[in-house]
Structure 1
Amino acid sequence: MSVQVHLMFLGCVLLATLAQNLTGFAFGLILLGMVATLNIISLADVAVVISFLTVANALATLGGPKPALDRSVLMPVLLSSLLGVSVGMWGLGALDEAQMAWLRLLLGCVIIIASLLLVVQSKPRERLSGQPAFWVSGALCGLLNGLFSSGGPPLVYHLYRQPLAYEVIRNTLITVFAANSATRLGLVIAQGQLHMQVIWLSLEALPLVLLVSVLMRRYPPRLSLRTVRWLVFALLVLAGASLIVESLGQVLAMAA
């Protein structure tokens, strides 16, 4: 890799880290999307790099003083998502290419619909949803993380509709995605799919991720929840559209 390619990669990491620390998600979405567009490194490698850096970002963002978290929200989401990751990883090996393409297409459509509902229903719920809703949204998040490494939308949509403080939502998302990434990373290592290029790229980006996360923790931007919700809407649309375009191409190619 040339110096220019390394700088482009670090620029992608910078933008992804900023979005992650503002909304609690989208690190993998933005980094994967930009790397795919710029054709910097293989998507398989960047997926593993994302797992490394997501865990590092969580440690930097939630380190120090006790972060704002609601255990009644966090625990059902966290436990069900970890179970979902395991099921999703199993499904990744059990489903064929055509089935995966159709699932990606369906997921993209659902994400677009959810993003529209998030801004149409501009006011959060008056009361916190029941525990079953948190278990279901967490399980869906983990399942999609296991299948596609794109598990954010169900949980993001559900949490941003709750009458919770912005910091609680963001910290819950960061914690859950870090746990999911650590689980995926452990499975990758156990399967012997970790190699030196991935390790060096992760180490190269790590100081930047830690620096940005620490600075944003100390000097948080003054954004209203409404502004953050619109940012989440834009990121969800980006995620849904990219999945639809990618999967639609695969479906049409197989039908031809």
Structure 2
Amino acid sequence: MIVETKVHTCHKCHSKELVKNGRNACGNQQYHCKTCGAYGVLEPQVCYTEEAKDLIIKAYQERSSMRGIERSHGICRQTLRAWLKEKAEQLPPLETTLAPVDPAQTPVLELDELWSFVFIKGNKVWVWIALSRETREVIAYACGDRSKDTCRILWDRIPSAYKKALVFTDYWEAYQAVIPDEQHHPVGKETGETAHVERWNNTLRQHLARFVRKTLSFSKCIIMHELCLKLFLHRYNTDLLPAS
């Protein structure tokens, strides 16, 4: 009789000092390394291709929560979170997703801020968006409070090709403190001059459950909050943008 013995080692330090640590949502045996303290899976039952990973990430960006993805695709939340971080780190700057600006025309931008929260509703995080009226592309974004400091971050992130654009916003005082007067046009909602960016706010909430105001699918940390926003913005500019 031939008996095969398989020795497992830690994926980080390659130590053999492993102890069992229950099973994950897929039923795979997990371990805990007593040497370096790392956690992992001994023998993953499913090896996902890059195409399958991209499909699951896109499914996550269609209003599904992490727990919903876990139930429907058999992917544990920790794995999905790692995939999202890896995908976000590989993304080029948002400016690379934009169409060239016609030098013969003066660009028009619409700016608005979107309320969201992280972990508790008392911890408000405002998402500032700069949208091109001609192309409907999101050209810049920023996350933070509702002060002029965050507005300054948004303005600094606007590509140089749009620095002389006409800018339409609401009457929030932060815009008036940052945007040059000769470019800034504060207007009310009834004018329709900021209708496109306000409609975009609804698009974001329809795709990412963590940005819905009253929901159980909220962000637990600011890192994932911004990371998921960044992933969606790149996908919106490249794949989801309606044809003009």
TM-score (norm 1): 0.28
Larger gyration radius, structure 1 or structure 2: 2
Flag the structure with more relative contact order, 1 or 2, with Cα contacts below 8 A and sequence separation at least 6.
1
| Structure number with higher helix proportion | 1
